DNA sequence: GCAGTATGTTTGTATCTCGCACAAACTTAT
DNA sequence: ATAAGTTTGTGCGAGATACAAACATACTGC
């Protein structure tokens, strides 16, 4: 099944909310007809956040009349986007039992792509977060653009062809510098072939589906928000550690993108003026202290076995087995990761941070160490609590679900 | 004239938008009647941002029908909030000349309070930003709460009594840690008498007016946004330097407050791990490098005359007069200020920064130096430009207008 | 079987924007 | 001077939406 020239479908209603909103200089008035799409989006988000929920509960949560919720969900049930579950137990005082609503498992799915230097992963993601039709491919990071595009089209095409019905859209998570507004990959240090590639336009034209692209940490954030530990949260950040350091923020119920999607390049905030030389050419970037390269160099100095193969998971194992050198290094690693989080906390006060990548393999042990150092580094307010969580689902998993979540987020324009 | 038990008036319509919106857990649906208040607010903001504007122009900017704008502004004209200006020149092709709308100079004003350790300033601010009925008073930072409250009531009462009609509300800008959600001063290091004081409740009950409080840098930000160089901008930060360092952000057309108004405590982000000891007890805070204390210590070392009286303005004068030591110190001062701005830029990518306080006294010279260092410290994108502006209006001026702007912002709940 | 209670639906109402038609006011061409 | 063209600002009905009131439904407890 292919989807060339399909009419664009929409998740939250019966009207496309694509690129049709010209930014006319900061003022935009709201029309009564726009209310429908907005409220449909909010109801869907409430369902995501809370799981199966009855109309009456939704109405209570939103502070609106039950009739309003009925009016919103009825067309969605008719469209087979939502299904009514079995009547639950009524309350102790009696009453008609509530019938919970949730997403139809047979509803259209979302296409997801994870694009890292040299590797492509594609899959389908259901509205409830299940992954299927997963495929991998490789490409030459220094090779030919046309060859890359052909590989991409073929791999994604095979994945999409396994869908029973046209997906709602395609989400792409990519490493490197992304201009998400214009759907262009600006530059990828380790894959020059991708630089300047208008991937969104290419895929949209080829598959006839809505396509959204964003950079990798932001996909992790969205994956956390829709399907992971960030579900239902209004303020948190996702932090990626590994060979590089990156991050993305969810603030006041909204993904922060900055101008042209350029916010969140945390790895190159400076935590040590005139410190170690960084790959970016500057000195003292957070990335010089919180990445695997630092960890491995330090492991060698500390005399830990196979220092080039060390990662957070093994370091935690060694520490648990009683190695003092490992414990010491782990603590210093945690401190280095904490410094950037602390600065972010001091700046935005999000209070919740989800670790991905290498640090996440260290589980609750590293999370606890990081939290303690963060609390040392920031000025805490009374009654304030900072939580550090790990999402150890494995990279591809969360990023792909996040890429799918990008499509969902794009449909549900929750902010006017 | 006193205003006890006046009915609360509203700027953007005919319904109070005070504390009546319960946060029912992230979901809130929009009602058609809510649209009215929202759109009224947006039209008012467009008028603020663009100055006197005709209905037709407003409609074009907002992308709506002219009749819609008429429907919105007509009641405001009737209420004497807006006035119709003289008909301007028609377009070259002819046509009926447009009649620009703007705020009525005789509309109610805003009360503003600037509260710093030991000093109170109060004034009235018109909707167009003019200050009048300015008063000052002092209080003992370690004294008695009741004495402080009495002084505050008396000073503010005198200012308010000069208004011809009840103001829309009172805005308070305060140094220290503020819980703007609950209207409480959490703690002020240099004025223990204020700690824990529920000032909003006290003033609201006494004067019968809506009262809003926020911390000092955020008032500067709002002052910039409504009446200063940030007018019409959608993304920028205000940076205050002096004895302390602080900042506040305007992101996507909205003041960022963080949880309970705790965002933006930039002075204590760490730019030098294990660096100089800071007043807060930690090491390497930005505040150890970007404040007057640092500047004065360095001035002494550099052999500059009267090092304890040095400030940015004098340093710039000395540098202009040819002092190499002054020029060198100025550049290092600019670099230290730049480091925190660079980290903020790397994190949020706001691209525009307005300096206040000591640095602002250095004018365009320091602004240029800071900009150059910021550009060295961050990874620039293609076509990206960073601007550093100074608002040299003098502290009280911008902060007081910002305090007034807080009231305006609070009325115009532009985000649903 | 009946009262009590909670859920979900139907019907009519209020609010708001939009498109259309039109008067008013001004410029340009004949 | 007159007519045509253009732009502004204003009534009026249509369409979309949430809300309140009333009602049918389904369960508990006596």
- A129-188 pLDDT, tens digit per residue, is 889 999 999 999 999 999 999 999 999 999 999 999 899 899 999 988 888 888 999 888
Q: SS3 helix, strand, coil % of chain A, rounded to 5?
A: 40, 20, 40
Grade residue B5 by pLDDT with cuts at 50, 70 and 90.
very low
Percentage with pLDDT > 70 across chain B: 88
How many C-alpha atoms does A39 have within 13 Å on its Cβ side? 26
Q: What is the DSSP letter of B347?
A: H
**How remote is the C-alpha of A222 from its chain's centroid?**
3
Q: Which of B290, B244, B287, B294 is nearest to B269 (CA)?
A: B287
B196 with B279, same domain: the answer is no
B241 touches strand D (CB under 7 A): no
Spatial separation of the C-alpha atoms in residues B405 and B401, rounded to whole Å? 6
Domain membership flag for residue A365: yes
The C-alpha angle A21, A23, A28, rounded to 5 degrees, equals: 80
Give the number of domains in chain A.
2
Residues B186 and B256 occupy one common structural domain: no
- CA-CA distance, A310 to A69, in Å (whole number)? 53
Would residue A279 count as lying in a domain?
yes
DSSP codes, B295-318: HHHHHHHTT-SSGGG--HHHHHHH
Residue of B nearest to A262 (CA): B349
Nearest CB to A186; choose among B24, B251, B381: B381
- Please indicate, yes or no, whether residues A217 and A244 belong to a single structural domain of this protein: no
Residues A407 and A388 both lie in one domain: no
Q: Is the CB of A36 under 7 A from strand D?
A: yes
Per-residue confidence (pLDDT) for residue A151, from 0 to 100: 96
CATH number at residue B261: 3.30.420.40
Residues A172 and A295 in one domain: no
At B228-275, the pLDDT tens digits run 898 888 899 999 999 889 999 999 888 898 776 666 689 999 999 988
Domain co-membership, A405 together with A373: no
Under an 8 A CB cutoff, do B349 and A266 touch? no
Helices and strands in chain B: count of H runs, count of E runs: 11, 14
Instruction: State the Cα–Cα distance between residues A114 and A172, nearest whole angstrom.
Output: 6
CA-CA distances (angstroms) from residue A314 to A245, A299, B134? 20, 11, 66
Q: Bigger pLDDT: B388 or B24?
A: B388
The Cα A166–Cα A210 span in angstroms is 11
Phi, psi of B180 (to 5 degrees): -75, -25
Nearest nt to the B92 alpha carbon by C1': C27
Grouping H, G, I as helix, E, B as strand and the rest as coil, residue A233 is coil
Q: Which of B101-105, B288-292, B411-415 is most confident?
A: B288-292
CB burial readout B233-259, b (16+ within 10 A) else e: bbbbbbbbbbebbbbbbbbbebbbbbb
pLDDT at B414: 52
Residue A306 has pLDDT above 60, yes or no: yes
Quick one: B163 and B205 in the same domain?
Answer: yes
H or E stretch at B206 = helix B199-207
**Could you read off the pLDDT of A85-104 as tens digits, one per residue?**
887 776 667 777 888 899 88
Mean residue pLDDT of chain A comes to 85
8 A C-beta contact, residue B407 and residue B210: yes
If asked whether residues B290 and B188 sit together in one domain, one would say no
- Does residue B329 contact residue B298 with C-beta atoms inside 8 Å? yes
**In this structure, is residue B416 part of a structural domain?**
no
What is the residue whose two structure tokens read 């998570």? A173
In a domain, B21, yes or no: no
Q: For residue A180, what pLDDT is reported?
A: 85
Could you tell me which residues are beta bridge partners of residue A214? A173
**Do both A272 and A366 map to the same domain?**
yes
Residue A172 within a domain: yes
Burial of A69 (0-12, 13-18, 19+ CB in 10 A): buried
Say if the Cβ atoms of B350 and A258 lie within 8 Å: yes
Phi, psi angles (nearest 5°) of residue A259: -70, 125
Comparing B379 with A311, the larger pLDDT belongs to A311
Average pLDDT estimate for B89-107: 79
Task: Please state, in angstroms and rounded to a whole number, the distance separating the CA atoms of residues B210 and B144.
Answer: 26
Q: Is A208 exposed, middle or buried (0-12, 13-18, 19+ CB in 10 A)?
A: middle
B103, B126, B146 — which closes off a domain?
B103
| Residue B255 C-alpha, separation from nearest chain A C-alpha, in angstroms | 11
Alpha-carbon gap, residue B74 to B274, rounded angstroms: 62
Rounded to the nearest angstrom, the minimum Cα separation between A282 and chain B is: 7
Q: Which helix (H) or strand (E) holds A220?
A: helix A216-227
Q: Considering the domain boundaries, does residue B246 fall inside one? A: yes
Over residues B356-379, the pLDDT tens digits come to 999 999 999 999 999 999 999 998
**A25 contacts chain B (CB < 8 A):** yes
Distance CA A376, CA A101 (A): 45
Q: Give residues 289 to 318 of A whose Cβ lies within 8 Å of B.
A: 289
Does residue B201 lie in a domain region? yes
In angstroms, the CA B51 to CA B101 distance is 9
Among A60-69, A277-286, B2-11, B155-164, whose mean pLDDT is lowest?
Answer: B2-11
Q: Is residue A187 part of a domain?
A: yes
The CA distance from B346 to the nearest CA of chain A, in Å, is: 6
Judge whether residue A353 has pLDDT over 50.
Answer: yes
In angstroms, the Cα distances linking B338 to A391, B292, B317, B369, B373 are 35, 15, 20, 9, 6
Banded pLDDT at B16 (limits 50, 70, 90): very low
How do residues B160-201 score in pLDDT, each as one tens digit?
Answer: 999 998 998 999 999 888 888 889 998 887 889 999 999 999
Domain that holds residue A219: 110-223+398-411
Residues B301 and B213 in one domain: no
Contact check, Cβ <8 Å, A351/B259: yes
In this structure, are A194 and A283 located in the same domain? no
Closest CA to B255 of A234, A415, A251, A342: A251
CB-hemisphere CA count at 13 Å for B327?
6
On whether both A242 and A323 belong to a single domain, the answer is yes
pLDDT of residue A22: 32
Check: CB of residue B32 under 8 Å from CB of residue A33: no
pLDDT band at A412 (very low <50, low <70, confident <90, very high): low
Q: Is the pLDDT of residue B208 over 90?
A: yes
């Amino acid at each position: 099944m292919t989807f060339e020239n399909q009419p664009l479908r929409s998740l939250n209603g019966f009207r496309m909310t694509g690129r049709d909103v010209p930014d006319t200089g900061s003022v935009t008035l709201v029309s009564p007809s726009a209310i429908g799409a907005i409220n449909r989006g909010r109801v869907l988000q409430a369902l995501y956040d809370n799981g199966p929920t009855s109309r009456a509960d939704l109405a209570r949560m939103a502070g609106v009349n039950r009739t309003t919720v009925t009016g919103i969900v009825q067309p969605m049930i008719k469209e087979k986007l939502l299904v009514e579950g079995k009547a639950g137990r009524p309350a102790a005082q009696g009453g008609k039992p509530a019938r919970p609503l949730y997403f139809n498992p047979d509803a259209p799915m979302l296409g997801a792509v994870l694009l890292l230097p040299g590797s492509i992963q594609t899959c389908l993601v259901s509205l409830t977060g299940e992954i299927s039709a997963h495929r991998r491919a490789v490409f030459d990071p220094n090779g030919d653009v046309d060859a890359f595009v052909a590989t991409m089209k073929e791999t994604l095409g095979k994945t999409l062809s396994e869908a029973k019905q046209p997906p709602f859209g395609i989400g792409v998570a990519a490493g490197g510098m992304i201009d998400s507004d214009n759907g262009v990959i600006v530059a990828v240090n380790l894959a020059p072939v991708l630089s300047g590639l208008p991937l969104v336009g290419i895929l949209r034209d080829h598959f006839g589906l809505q396509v959204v692209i964003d950079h990798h940490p932001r996909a992790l954030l969205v994956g956390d928000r829709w399907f992971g530990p960030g579900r239902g949260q209004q303020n948190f950040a996702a932090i990626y550690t590994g060979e590089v350091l990156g991050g993305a923020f969810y603030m006041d119920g909204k993904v922060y993108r900055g101008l042209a999607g350029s916010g969140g390049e945390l790895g190159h905030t400076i935590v040590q003026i005139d410190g170690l030389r960084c790959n970016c050419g500057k000195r003292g970037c957070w990335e010089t202290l919180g990445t695997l390269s630092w960890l491995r160099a330090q492991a060698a100095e500390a005399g830990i076995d196979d220092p080039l193969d060390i990662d957070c998971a093994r370091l935690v194992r060694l520490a648990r087995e009683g190695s003092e050198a490992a414990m010491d290094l782990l603590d210093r690693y945690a401190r280095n990761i904490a410094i950037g989080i602390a600065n972010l906390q001091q700046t935005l006060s999000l209070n919740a941070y989800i670790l991905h990548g290498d640090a996440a393999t260290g589980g609750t042990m590293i999370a606890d160490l990081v939290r303690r150092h963060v609390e040392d580094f920031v000025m805490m307010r009374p009654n304030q609590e900072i939580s550090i969580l790990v999402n150890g689902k494995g990279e591809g998993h969360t990023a792909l679900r996040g890429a799918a979540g990008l499509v969902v987020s794009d449909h549900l324009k929750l902010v006017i």
